[in-house]
Amino acid sequence: MIDIRKSLLQEINLKHLIARDIKLYIKRDDLLHSEISGNKWRKLKYNVELCLVKKKNGLLTFGGAYSNHLLATAAACNLFGLKSIGIVRGEELNENSNSTLFRCQELGMELVFVSRAEYQLKNEKEYQDEILANNPSFQLVPEGGANYYGVIGCQEIMKEVPNEVDHIFVSQGTATTSCGVLLSLKEKQKLHVVPALKGFDSIGEVNGLLSRTGIDKGLTDSLIKQIVVHDGCHFGGYGKYTNELLTFIQDFFQETKLKLDPIYTGKTMFGMLKELEKDCYNGQSILFIHTGGLQGVEGIEKKSGIKLFED
Ligand SMILES: Cc1ncc(COP(=O)(O)O)c(C=O)c1O
């Protein structure tokens, strides 16, 4: 089972930050599980629980061919004796498919490949109703675990952080993790979000998700004032990366032995260290939430021909 104590709070000593009396802590959610890692478990925990309570047979969810969420759902269902169905965008499983899809299948996930046009309908109520009518014993989880249960699972992250931190940095994909963290912030804390997507409407997405959790507009508006968006660190957009980013991840590993991925956490750490160059962070305490994502790194290393984590 998944033991939350595995997610350590690690202090990282970077010389240039120590010189300015900046403390940097990493919330190591990446250590939670090899496949249900990082924010994946946080977002799935209550979805799994609901599925068990409702005595459903399993979870049905959506994802792209490299989706961390798809793999985590397959692994979590496997672990809890549930079935899983993955609706996959625009791919077919064949000998050229990536290891994420093969691993999902190995874990017992039924993969249903749909066209990109059909996949666009994933959040439409009518489309979801139709899918559930065909699979009545399944609990639907939106792409990326972006629902109420995902948000309340992510709310637990900050409860495990005893230190008083001034600034929290986290990656954004669907904004579920950042919404959960936001809900558990203390008044003076700032939440810095780094979207992995180009043109991502961070505040709009947070607004949308929070309104679906039933939180009133006044509270949502005041919470949103605690968010700082860093939207210039997407390196070309979702799934894109440059040699500059890969070199940064390599150098960061050499200095700290901490592994980052080029899709989410590498971009966020890059953006955070750039931001921390400002004098206003002198003497402040910083928390970086490591949301995992390392399962896809091997494929990126193969594609780029660059080894990221050589000792
Ligand atoms: C490794 C990793 N970090 C961060 C995120 C972004 O989290 P969220 O979609 O909750 O904003 C994701 C996507 O779920 C992810 O796979």
**Domain positions in the chain:** 4-33+152-304, 39-145
Flag whether pLDDT at 139 surpasses 90: yes
Whether CATH 2.40.110.10 fits 4-33+152-304: no
63 lines ligand 1 (CB under 6 A): no
61 lines ligand 1 (CB under 6 A): no
CA 204 / ligand 1 centre spacing (Å)? 17
Flag whether pLDDT at 164 surpasses 90: no
174 lines ligand 1 (CB under 6 A): yes
39 lines ligand 1 (CB under 6 A): yes
The reported pLDDT for the residue numbered 196 is: 97
Q: What is the pLDDT of residues 59-74, one digit of tens each?
A: 999 999 889 999 999 9
Flag whether pLDDT at 93 surpasses 80: no
Q: What is the pLDDT of residues 141-152, one digit of tens each?
A: 999 999 999 999
Pocket test for ligand 1, best of 264, 272, 289, 300 (most atoms within 8 A of CB): 264
Distance CA 205, CA 53 (A): 29
Q: What would the CATH number be for the domain defined by 39-145?
A: 3.40.50.1100
CA 192 / ligand 1 centre spacing (Å)? 14
147 lines ligand 1 (CB under 6 A): no
CA 94 / ligand 1 centre spacing (Å)? 27
Q: What is the pLDDT of residues 190-202, one digit of tens each?
A: 999 999 999 999 9
144 lines ligand 1 (CB under 6 A): yes
Rounding to the nearest 10 degrees, give the CA dihedral for residues 176, 178, 184, 190: -160
264 lines ligand 1 (CB under 6 A): yes
Distance CA 38, CA 32 (A): 6
- Mean pLDDT computed over 201-217: 93
Ligand 1, atom 6, lies closest to the CA of 173
For 8-47, letters b (16+ CB in 10 Å) and e give eeeebeeeebeeeebbbbbbbbbbbbebbbbbbbbbbbbb
- Of 62, 68, 8, 69, whose CA–CA distance to 44 is shortest? 69
